[in-house]
């Protein structure tokens, strides 16, 4: 069975077996997303004024859309599952952006902790929350004029909408370049305190439905393995770097505890914790079962097996190495690769992850069987 048939079979099966008990209504009129490159639909590209070049986007958007993948992201498939259009980036003023059904504040390279002078993205989580506050205030002003009703959310959409979060990966991954595992673990409470501050601000602005993704298995990214996995004693049976995955697990345990705390503090809020780590690790460990051939090696990169990743030559770029022009090119068939460019997932892998999320089997609250989640 090829990949597309595998996914189609899984989605149909999952839709049939959605749990009825403890379910929530998922008929949200709008989605407001916060995060990093895992869900950036063009924010960093628009905000810093650069183009994400080919071969990014080759499997779907072509030309590139500002997404860090060969095609659609998890958030794109989730929006499709909710029967809502793709989310436009908050800073993207081109292409006739329509924010009627929500807005995306996620920016590649972003962290939960405030950005520093050396940060890839200046749009840390606190800044994204501030952008939302300004967005909301401006929308409420525009609604008084009745001229933009078809392009902006209605006032009650801010309370009825879904607030999604997929951020924290860069806080952990970046910290390993200057800190030991114990130091990274000691940093987690500070990271989550900053996250809590942002969540509380959103609650005060009317947010009531929170969908919080935990972080994936960082140690299984080709870029991390190439940098920190040169010592085989640091690799597990899957070839993933052990300390990075330990940090991700520790972060996720504390994040889940925070979600439980949030539920008790705000009984009128719906808080759903989504276990992305387990979904992605299961995909890597059992890749052949789901139609994939390469669980870790990057599709777009340079260097060949086992990782096809060289930090000196990013996907799609050409550099002079030892006097020779080298281009990091894409593989022939990205649909059998889990990893796209060493750090981000392929469209095929994102499709799989989204289908697992929508099953409700990896969330603290089962998704409603009322929604026809078809990808």
Task: Say if 300 falls within a structural domain.
Answer: no
Nearest to 46, CA basis, from 149, 121, 141 = 121
Tens-digit pLDDT profile for residues 307-342: 999 999 999 999 999 999 999 999 999 999 999 999
Residue 213: its pLDDT value, please?
A: 98
- CA neighbor of 92 nearest in space, from 46, 48, 53, 133: 46
Phi, psi of 167, rounded to the nearest 5 degrees: -155, 155
Q: Looking at the domain assignment, is residue 323 inside a domain?
A: no
Rounded Cα gap, residues 320 and 302, in angstroms:
13
Q: Give per-residue pLDDT as tens, 162-203.
A: 999 999 999 999 999 999 999 999 999 999 999 999 999 999
pTM of the model: 0.91
The whole-angstrom separation of Cα 32 and Cα 229 is 36
CATH no. for residue 36? 3.40.50
Question: What sections of 322-366 are H helices per DSSP?
Answer: 347-357
Residue 370 lies in a domain: no
Q: Helix (H, G, I), strand (E, B), or coil: what is residue 168?
A: coil
Looking at residue 5, its pLDDT comes to 44
Tell me the Cα Rg of the chain.
Answer: 20
Identify whether the C-beta of residue 300 lies closer than 8 Å to the C-beta of residue 215.
Answer: no
Strands 162-166 and 209-213: parallel
Residues carrying an active site annotation: 37, 341, 344
Task: Confirm whether 308 is domain-assigned.
Answer: no
Residue among 255, 164, 160 at smallest CA distance from 208: 160
So what's the pLDDT on residue 354? 97
List the structure tokens of 50: 């650069």
- Predicted confidence (pLDDT) at residue 133 exceeds the cutoff of 90: yes
* pLDDT at residue 1 is higher than 90: no
Residue 10 pLDDT greater than 90, yes or no = no
Compute CA 219 distance to the chain's CA centroid, rounded to the nearest angstrom. 16
Domain that holds residue 254: 3-292+349-358
d(C-alpha 181, C-alpha 172), whole Å: 10
Report DSSP state, residue 120.
S
Taking alpha carbons only, the member of 32, 269, 72, 45 closest to residue 165 is 32
In a domain, residue 117? The reply is: yes
Crossing angle for the helix pair 181-204 and 242-265, nearest 10 degrees? Answer: 30
Q: What span, in angstroms and rounded, lies between the C-alpha atoms of 369 and 169?
A: 30
Is residue 47 assigned to a domain?
Answer: yes
Query: Cα(50)–Cα(40) distance, rounded to whole angstroms?
Result: 14
d(C-alpha 140, C-alpha 145), whole Å: 10
pLDDT category of residue 16 using cuts at 50, 70 and 90: very low
What does the chain come to in residues?
375
Q: What is the pLDDT of residue 146?
A: 74
Euclidean distance between CA atoms 146 and 235, whole angstroms:
59
Peptide bond into 125 cis (omega under 30): no
d(CA 45, CA 65): 9
* Whole-angstrom distance, CA of residue 17 vs CA of residue 288: 23
239 domain residue, yes or no: yes
What integer pLDDT is reported at residue 150 of this predicted model?
83
- pLDDT tens track for 80-104: 999 999 999 999 877 667 999 999 9
Where would I find the H helices in the chain?
3-16, 43-48, 74-81, 125-143, 157-160, 169-175, 181-204, 222-228, 242-265, 276-285, 347-357
Burial class (CB in 10 A: 0-12, 13-18, 19+), 192: buried
329 within some domain:
no
**pLDDT cut 70: percent of the chain above it:** 90
How many separate domains does the chain show? 1
Smallest CA-to-CA distance from 98 within 61, 159, 153, 49 is with: 153
Conformational region of residue 323, where left means phi above 0, alpha means psi within -120 to 50, and beta covers everything else: left
């Amino acid at each position: 069975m090829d990949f597309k048939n595998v996914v189609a079979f899984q989605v149909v099966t999952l839709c049939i077996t959605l749990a009825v008990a403890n379910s929530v209504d998922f008929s949200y009129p709008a989605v407001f997303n916060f995060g990093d490159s895992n869900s950036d639909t063009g924010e960093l590209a628009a905000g810093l004024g650069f183009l994400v070049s080919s071969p990014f986007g080759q499997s779907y958007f072509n030309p590139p859309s500002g997404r860090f993948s060969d095609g659609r992201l998890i958030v794109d498939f989730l929006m499709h599952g909710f029967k809502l259009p793709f989310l436009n980036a908050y800073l993207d003023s081109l292409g006739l952006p329509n924010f009627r059904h929500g807005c995306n504040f996620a920016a590649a390279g972003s962290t939960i902790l405030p950005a520093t002078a050396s940060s890839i993205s200046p749009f840390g989580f606190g800044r994204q929350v501030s952008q939302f506050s300004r967005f909301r205030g401006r929308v409420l002003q525009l609604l008084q004029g009745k001229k933009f009703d078809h392009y902006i959310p209605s006032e009650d959409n801010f309370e009825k909408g879904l607030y999604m979060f997929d951020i924290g990966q860069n806080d952990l991954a970046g910290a390993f370049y200057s800190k030991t595992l114990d130091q990274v673990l000691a940093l987690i409470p500070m990271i989550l305190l900053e996250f809590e501050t942002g969540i509380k601000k959103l609650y005060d602005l009317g947010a009531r439905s929170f969908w919080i993704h935990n972080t994936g298995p960082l140690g299984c990214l080709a870029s991390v393995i190439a940098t920190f996995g040169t010592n085989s004693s640091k690799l597990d049976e899957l070839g993933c770097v052990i300390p990075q995955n330990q940090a991700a697990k520790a972060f996720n345990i504390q994040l889940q505890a925070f979600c439980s705390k949030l539920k008790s503090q705000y009984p009128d809020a719906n808080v759903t914790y989504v276990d992305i780590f387990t979904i992605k690790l299961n995909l890597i460990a059992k890749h052949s079962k789901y139609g994939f051939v390469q669980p870790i090696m990057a599709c777009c990169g340079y260097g060949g097996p086992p990782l096809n990743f060289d930090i000196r030559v990013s996907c799609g770029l050409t550099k002079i190495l030892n006097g020779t022009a080298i281009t990091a090119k894409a593989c022939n068939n990205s649909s059998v690769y889990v990893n796209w460019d060493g750090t981000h997932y392929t469209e095929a892998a994102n499709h799989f992850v989204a289908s697992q999320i929508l099953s409700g089997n990896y969330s603290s609250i089962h998704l409603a069987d009322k929604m026809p989640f078809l990808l």
